[in-house]
Amino acid sequence: MIEIVVGVLLILGGLLGALGSLGLLRMPDVLIRMHASTKIGTLSTGLILAASAIWFWDAGVTARVVLVVLFLLMTAPIASHMIGRAAVSLGVPLFKGRDAPADEAAD
Protein backbone atom coordinates (compact mmCIF):
# COMPACT_ATOMS: atom_id res chain seq x y z
CA MET A 1 0.00 0.00 0.00
CA ILE A 2 2.84 2.38 0.81
CA GLU A 3 4.36 1.71 -2.60
CA ILE A 4 1.14 2.88 -4.27
CA VAL A 5 0.96 6.09 -2.23
CA VAL A 6 4.64 6.86 -2.89
CA GLY A 7 4.21 6.07 -6.58
CA VAL A 8 1.18 8.36 -6.88
CA LEU A 9 2.98 11.20 -5.10
CA LEU A 10 6.06 10.80 -7.29
CA ILE A 11 4.02 10.69 -10.50
CA LEU A 12 1.98 13.73 -9.46
CA GLY A 13 5.14 15.61 -8.52
CA GLY A 14 6.81 14.72 -11.79
CA LEU A 15 3.76 15.65 -13.87
CA LEU A 16 3.38 18.97 -12.09
CA GLY A 17 7.08 19.67 -12.62
CA ALA A 18 6.66 18.97 -16.33
CA LEU A 19 3.58 21.19 -16.36
CA GLY A 20 5.59 24.00 -14.77
CA SER A 21 8.28 23.58 -17.42
CA LEU A 22 5.63 23.76 -20.11
CA GLY A 23 4.31 26.92 -18.45
CA LEU A 24 7.76 28.49 -18.68
CA LEU A 25 7.82 27.83 -22.41
CA ARG A 26 4.23 28.76 -23.27
CA MET A 27 3.40 31.77 -21.09
CA PRO A 28 3.66 35.18 -22.77
CA ASP A 29 5.56 37.37 -20.29
CA VAL A 30 7.93 37.24 -17.36
CA LEU A 31 5.32 37.78 -14.64
CA ILE A 32 3.10 34.93 -15.78
CA ARG A 33 6.12 32.65 -16.29
CA MET A 34 7.30 33.49 -12.80
CA HIS A 35 3.92 32.51 -11.39
CA ALA A 36 3.96 29.16 -13.19
CA SER A 37 7.46 28.29 -12.12
CA THR A 38 7.07 29.30 -8.47
CA LYS A 39 3.70 27.76 -7.68
CA ILE A 40 4.02 24.55 -9.63
CA GLY A 41 7.70 24.11 -8.73
CA THR A 42 7.00 24.40 -5.03
CA LEU A 43 4.05 22.01 -5.20
CA SER A 44 5.90 19.40 -7.25
CA THR A 45 8.94 19.54 -4.98
CA GLY A 46 6.71 19.20 -1.92
CA LEU A 47 4.97 16.14 -3.36
CA ILE A 48 8.26 14.45 -4.25
CA LEU A 49 9.68 15.20 -0.80
CA ALA A 50 6.50 13.88 0.83
CA ALA A 51 6.95 10.66 -1.13
CA SER A 52 10.50 10.33 0.15
CA ALA A 53 9.38 10.96 3.75
CA ILE A 54 6.72 8.25 3.44
CA TRP A 55 9.09 5.82 1.76
CA PHE A 56 11.91 6.10 4.30
CA TRP A 57 9.59 6.62 7.31
CA ASP A 58 12.41 7.74 9.57
CA ALA A 59 12.25 10.63 12.03
CA GLY A 60 15.46 12.18 10.69
CA VAL A 61 14.35 12.04 7.07
CA THR A 62 10.88 13.33 7.90
CA ALA A 63 12.33 16.23 9.90
CA ARG A 64 14.58 17.16 6.99
CA VAL A 65 11.68 16.95 4.55
CA VAL A 66 9.56 19.21 6.74
CA LEU A 67 12.41 21.72 7.05
CA VAL A 68 13.06 21.74 3.29
CA VAL A 69 9.35 22.21 2.51
CA LEU A 70 9.09 25.04 5.04
CA PHE A 71 12.20 26.65 3.56
CA LEU A 72 10.69 26.43 0.07
CA LEU A 73 7.36 27.84 1.24
CA MET A 74 9.14 30.78 2.87
CA THR A 75 11.67 31.60 0.16
CA ALA A 76 9.85 30.90 -3.13
CA PRO A 77 7.29 33.73 -2.77
CA ILE A 78 10.01 36.19 -1.76
CA ALA A 79 12.22 35.22 -4.69
CA SER A 80 9.25 35.42 -7.04
CA HIS A 81 8.35 38.87 -5.75
CA MET A 82 11.90 40.14 -6.18
CA ILE A 83 12.11 38.79 -9.74
CA GLY A 84 8.82 40.50 -10.55
CA ARG A 85 9.98 43.81 -9.07
CA ALA A 86 13.22 43.64 -10.98
CA ALA A 87 11.40 42.91 -14.23
CA VAL A 88 8.98 45.80 -13.77
CA SER A 89 11.68 48.25 -12.68
CA LEU A 90 13.90 47.30 -15.64
CA GLY A 91 10.99 47.87 -18.01
CA VAL A 92 10.73 44.34 -19.36
CA PRO A 93 7.91 44.39 -21.94
CA LEU A 94 4.73 42.79 -20.65
CA PHE A 95 1.98 40.93 -22.46
CA LYS A 96 -0.20 43.30 -24.50
CA GLY A 97 -3.47 41.83 -23.20
CA ARG A 98 -2.66 42.86 -19.63
CA ASP A 99 -4.11 46.03 -18.09
CA ALA A 100 -1.71 48.90 -17.55
CA PRO A 101 -0.32 49.29 -14.00
CA ALA A 102 -1.98 51.96 -11.86
CA ASP A 103 0.91 54.45 -12.11
CA GLU A 104 0.90 54.32 -15.92
CA ALA A 105 -2.89 54.58 -16.14
CA ALA A 106 -2.81 57.89 -14.22
CA ASP A 107 -0.61 59.55 -16.91
| Domain extent at residue 10 | 2-92
How many CB atoms lie under 10 A from the CB of residue 51?
Answer: 22
14 located within any domain: yes
88 located within any domain: yes
Res. 19 pLDDT band, cuts 50 70 90? confident
Res. 104 pLDDT band, cuts 50 70 90? low
Res. 99 pLDDT band, cuts 50 70 90? low
97 located within any domain: no
Identify the pLDDT of residue 60: 92
pTM for this model (two decimals): 0.76
What's the domain count of the chain?
Answer: 1
102 located within any domain: no
106 located within any domain: no
Over range 75-97, report the average pLDDT.
85
Inform me whether the pLDDT recorded for 29 exceeds 70: yes
Inform me whether the pLDDT recorded for 12 exceeds 90: yes
Identify the pLDDT of residue 81: 87
Give the orientation angle of helix 30-56 with respect to helix 2-26, to 10 degrees: 170
